[in-house]
Amino acid sequence: MNQYKLRFIPLGGVVGVTKNMYVYELYENDKIKDILIIDCGIGFPMEKELGVDFVIPDVSYLADKAHLIRAVVLSHGHEDHTSALPYHYQVLGRPPIFSSKLTSVFVENKFKEFNERIRVNVVDHEKTYSFGSFELKFIRMTHSIPDTLHVLIKTPVGAFYHGTDFKFDLTPPYGSYPDFYEITKAGKDGVLCLLSDSLGSEREGLTLSENIVGQTFEDEMRKTKGKFIMTTFSSNISRIRQCVEAAIKFNRRIAFMGRSMRENTKLAQGIGYLPIPFSLVLKEEETMKVPPNKVCLIVAGSQGQYNSALAKLSRNQNPYIKIKPGDKVILSSDPIPGNEGEVYALIEELSQVGADVIYTDIQDQLHASGHGSQEDLKFLIRFTNPKFFIPIGGTIRHQHQYQKLVESLGYSEDKVFSLEEADTVWFTQGKAYKGDPIETKNIYVDAYGIGDVGNVVLRDRKNLANEGIVVAILIVDNKGQLVVQPKIMSRGFVFEKGEEVLFKEGVLLIQKILKPRGGRVIEVNGIRKEVGNTLEEFFFEKRGRRPLVIVDVIQI
């Protein structure tokens, strides 16, 4: 008789809110039989990760198992769930991809940026799909973006309800309602483990409907004498459509700003998700010819990204559009955890150039979270009635709060698995236990490549930013003896007037290190190492700082 067990591995999306990627491994007689992947998204760097554009999951564990990957399922179109897939698709063995309609056009367009054309399979909610020994049912769900899916995964071990980002929105502005029938049916048939969005676990009550934001746009637009500027995530088509409808009502012409905003809105228009009369669409350069009170700008950059369209407006760097008193900027999104500093700095800059900036700290109903609050989470728990729980899509603090929530419903503490990235949980018939973690590392992406930025590079960048740089130039003969006096230069380390005495002492130290000693020959690499270490300790002793020290040895 065959024996089955399943191992769940989060490669992202459990310690941080982003970089979501989840692996289900089904074993038959202690051998991996089938692998299913749900989501493959990017993460956003922490402030200390200087020069990093974004982070992607480490899939090296899967590299030699690509032939066992039966499918990649994408739950919705946000970048933190989809946009790492083009980087890993070859390594994963080019498995079939399944998603909803809106997600499919976003992902296919993302692959085009990599000069690759793929076909994403659009799911039929009425069908059951088989991927090896996995049987999947796709369940309609509401979030801040249309066409969000929950996934019921049936396996020989038991059923898993994968409930990524969601809220129970009973009055969504567009798209389908949550499919309560399929959710409760899954619970009635039996769910071994619920994997639930946990980001809203700290908030009481139910999360507000997306519908409330449309009325807020109308109210604010009615009072605006100048340009009306709204920013949100470029994939948040529901929010964008509500702003468009308000603009149409007040006879404002609409311009989309920022590459991602232009691309995503064009894609949504192409499948009928964003109907806009052609006569109301503006190009950026055409806005100068239209009275400000007849202009609506929908702009990328809601997270304070430095080079975003909104940030450039705040710095008066757009050649066609200038923010002036009377203009209103609506931030219709909350900062992703970790981005608060950038967002508030952006608000300061916009205010300084004269805009009336409206954000959720000063006005309610500008933004409705896409993540369920405590009552939403309780409903999903009661509907599915699982034996075990894994909170996903939140930080460690959100996981801990989710565990308290589960315990308040009568479940014991040992039924909830709070995980860190690369932790594992094993499931057998009716049982679950934590396994050994697999090995992973951070994969950083910057403008020059993937994985070229490692911990050493980040450490040096941090030193450069915080402590400055010192360069020592040494000219030596073939025995490693100084030919001329060493020269020391710095940037961002000490004030110029303080350099002279300090660097004279540094030169004396170098001369002492390289003082002739009985014809001894010193190798160039040895000189670099010894001088560099000595100067680092010297500068720390004298100034309490450790600049990045570079020793350039020229041998003649």
pLDDT digits (tens, 9 = 90+) for 254-294: 999 999 999 999 999 999 999 999 899 999 999 989 999 99
- To the query of whether residue 88 is one of the catalytic residues in this protein, the response is no
Phi, psi of 434 (to 5 degrees): -80, 135
Which tokens in the block code for residue 314? 């705040």
Between residues 373 and 459, the one the model is more confident about:
373
Which residue among 39, 147, 197, 327 is the active-site one?
A: 197
210-239: pLDDT as tens digits? 998 999 999 999 999 999 999 999 999 999
Which tokens in the block code for residue 277? 């009369």
Strand ranges (DSSP E) for 359-486?
388-392, 424-428, 431-435, 443-446, 449-450, 469-476
Which tokens in the block code for residue 241? 């459509």
Beta carbons of 299 and 233 less than 8 angstroms apart = no
Q: How far apart are CA 382 and CA 194, in angstroms?
A: 11
Residue 121 DSSP label: E
Domains defined for the chain, CATH in brackets: 4-205+369-449 (3.60.15.10), 211-358 (3.40.50.10710), 468-555 (3.10.20.580)
Closest to 234 in 3D by CA, of 261, 211, 202, 265: 261
Amino acid identity, position 524:
V
Between residues 51 and 163, the one the model is more confident about:
163
Q: What per-residue confidence (pLDDT) applies to 336?
A: 74
- Averaged pLDDT for residues 1-22: 92
- Averaged pLDDT for residues 353-376: 87
Q: How far apart are CA 223 and CA 522, in angstroms?
A: 76
Q: What per-residue confidence (pLDDT) applies to 169?
A: 96
Beta carbons of 269 and 241 less than 8 angstroms apart = no
pLDDT bucket at 453, cuts 50 / 70 / 90: very low
Closest to 245 in 3D by CA, of 267, 209, 270, 273: 273
Query: Is the pLDDT reported for residue 376 higher than 90?
Result: yes
Beta-carbon-side half-sphere exposure of residue 549 (alpha carbons within 13 Å): 21
Give 98's contacts (C-beta < 8 A, 6+ positions apart): 71, 72, 73, 74, 120, 121, 122, 123, 129, 136, 138
Q: What per-residue confidence (pLDDT) applies to 505?
A: 87
Q: What per-residue confidence (pLDDT) applies to 447?
A: 43
Beta carbons of 78 and 41 less than 8 angstroms apart = yes
Q: How far apart are CA 358 and CA 53, in angstroms?
A: 28
Mean pLDDT of the chain: 90
Amino acid identity, position 190:
G
Query: Is the pLDDT reported for residue 548 higher than 90?
Result: no
- Averaged pLDDT for residues 65-76: 98
Which tokens in the block code for residue 495? 């004030």
**CB atoms near residue 501 (< 10 Å):** 10
Q: Is 379 helix (H, G, I), strand (E, B) or coil?
A: helix
Which residue among 162, 371, 376, 423 is the active-site one?
A: 371
Query: Is the pLDDT reported for residue 459 higher than 70?
Result: no
Beta-carbon-side half-sphere exposure of residue 157 (alpha carbons within 13 Å): 26
- To the query of whether residue 398 is one of the catalytic residues in this protein, the response is no
Question: In which order are the strands placed within the sheet that holds 281-282?
Answer: 281-282, 253-257, 295-299, 228-231, 328-331, 356-358
Amino acid identity, position 295:
V
483-541: pLDDT as tens digits? 888 888 887 776 556 677 888 888 888 888 888 765 566 677 788 888 888 888 888 88
Q: What per-residue confidence (pLDDT) applies to 454?
A: 46
How are beta strands 469-476 and 487-491 bridged, if at all? antiparallel
Strand ranges (DSSP E) for 311-351?
328-331
Query: Is the pLDDT reported for residue 463 higher than 80?
Result: no
Closest to 233 in 3D by CA, of 323, 334, 383: 334
360-369: pLDDT as tens digits? 877 767 778 8
| Dihedral Cα 425, 426, 427, 431, nearest 10 deg | -90
Q: What per-residue confidence (pLDDT) applies to 335?
A: 78
**CB atoms near residue 82 (< 10 Å):** 27
Q: What per-residue confidence (pLDDT) applies to 479?
A: 77
189-211: pLDDT as tens digits? 999 999 999 999 999 999 999 99
Q: What per-residue confidence (pLDDT) applies to 365?
A: 74
- Averaged pLDDT for residues 396-409: 97
Q: What per-residue confidence (pLDDT) applies to 52?
A: 60
Bridge partners for 37 per DSSP: 23, 72
**CB atoms near residue 269 (< 10 Å):** 15
Mean pLDDT lowest among 10-24, 295-309, 434-448: 434-448
96-145: pLDDT as tens digits? 999 999 999 999 999 999 999 999 999 999 999 999 999 999 999 999 99
Element (H, E) at 254: strand 253-257
Amino acid identity, position 351:
S
Which tokens in the block code for residue 270? 């192409």
pLDDT bucket at 446, cuts 50 / 70 / 90: low
Question: In which order are the strands placed within the sheet that holds 121-122?
Answer: 121-122, 97-99, 69-73, 31-38, 21-28, 4-12, 424-428, 431-435
Beta carbons of 206 and 376 less than 8 angstroms apart = yes
